[in-house]
Amino acid sequence: MEREVITSPQNPKVKELLSLQEKPKTRREKGLFVVEGRREIGHCAAAGLQFRCAFVCPDILPDAEGAVPAGTRIFEVSRPVYEKIAYREGTEGIVAEVVIPDRTLEGLSLGENPLIVVLEGVEKPGNLGAVLRSADAAGADAVLVCGGGADLYNPNLVRASIGALFTRQVVATSSEEAIAWLKRKGVRIYTAQLQDSSLYYDTDFRGPSAIVMGTESTGLTDRWREAADAHIRIPMLGRLDSLNVSVSAAILLFEAVRQRQGQPSRP
């Protein structure tokens, strides 16, 4: 691997890395994002993503061999430089720049009986990351993120997903495009909503299914309600009328998993 030593925080390569971390515009223009930590970088590599370079602190990670794909350009950085570029505490001494993959609806690879998560208007990195983790745990085929505000490669989202951003197929798209695609694929659309809905455990998720959720504050737009094959809800027995979207996603996904493992929906 090609090595270059960087000891100054003012190095142009360090400044570019910081810009990628901090500015969505820079990520969009350069087509790059930042991943920190061996686990997340490992998930990136396993997903076949292309690495531009990696910054390694030998004081923390003496041997970087195998931490990134062979042939990746590596910059060795001093501890002060690493402390400047490290986005969170407790990482293993490695930060990488990765090429943003070109992911589209038509490029998704679905199984014979797909299970898909759709999020509309969910922009908070913590919520998105938690939903991605649930989607990974449930073995969902894909996650569709609808609405123009979500930044899929925000460092906070990359961190919150703990690698699930790379283990699942994640596509940013519009609601109109997502609905049309799901209809073409023969995937039933189940919208999570309080109004005019049935209890989720009375719903049959055993066939191709898309579970669609919005934000706690605004819910789903009418386009999804009208496109839905069924409206579903989680019973709320307390005084509040909603759950965090990540909690709702986990409940609904694992009901689908339960049914698909041979347990029928409740009569």
Residue range(s) occupied by CATH 3.40.1280.10 in the chain: 115-260
- The band of 76, judged by pLDDT with boundaries at 50, 70 and 90, is very high
Confidence of residue 182 (pLDDT cuts 50, 70, 90): very high
Superfamily of domain 115-260: SPOUT methyltransferase, trefoil knot domain (3.40.1280.10)
pLDDT at 90: 66
Residue 22: phi and psi, rounded to 5, are -95, -25
Domain with CATH 3.30.1330.30 in the chain: 3-99
Please report the pLDDT score of residue 139 as a whole number.
97
Alpha-carbon dihedral 131, 134, 136, 140, rounded to 10 degrees: -90
Type and span of the H or E element at 149: none
CA 23/CA 154 separation, integer angstroms: 9
Q: Which residue has the tokens 């951003």?
A: 165
Q: What does the pLDDT average to over 238-256?
A: 92
pLDDT in tens, 208-233: 999 999 987 778 999 999 999 999 99
Q: Which CATH number fits domain 3-99: 3.10.450.240, 3.30.1330.30, 3.20.20.60, 3.10.20.340?
A: 3.30.1330.30
Cβ-based neighbours of 230, under 8 Å, separated by 6 or more = 188, 189, 190, 191, 198, 203
Q: What is the pLDDT of residue 30?
A: 96
Q: What is the DSSP letter of 130?
A: H
The contacts of residue 32 (CB under 8 Å, 6+ apart) are 20, 52, 97, 98, 99, 100
Positive or negative: CA dihedral 24, 120, 213, 107: negative
pLDDT tens track for 30-55: 999 999 988 899 999 999 999 999 99
pLDDT of 199 > 80? The answer is yes
Strands 230-233 and 198-199, bridge-based pairing:
parallel
Structure tokens at 47: 């997903």
pLDDT of 251:
97
Residue 66 — very low, low, confident or very high, per pLDDT cuts 50/70/90? confident
Q: Nearest-5° angle of CA 113, CA 126, CA 252?
A: 35
83-137 per-position pLDDT tens digit: 999 987 666 899 999 999 999 999 999 999 999 999 999 989 999 999 999 999 9
Residue predicted with more confidence, 242 or 141: 141
Model confidence at 265: pLDDT above 60: no
Pull the structure tokens for residue 93. 């001494």
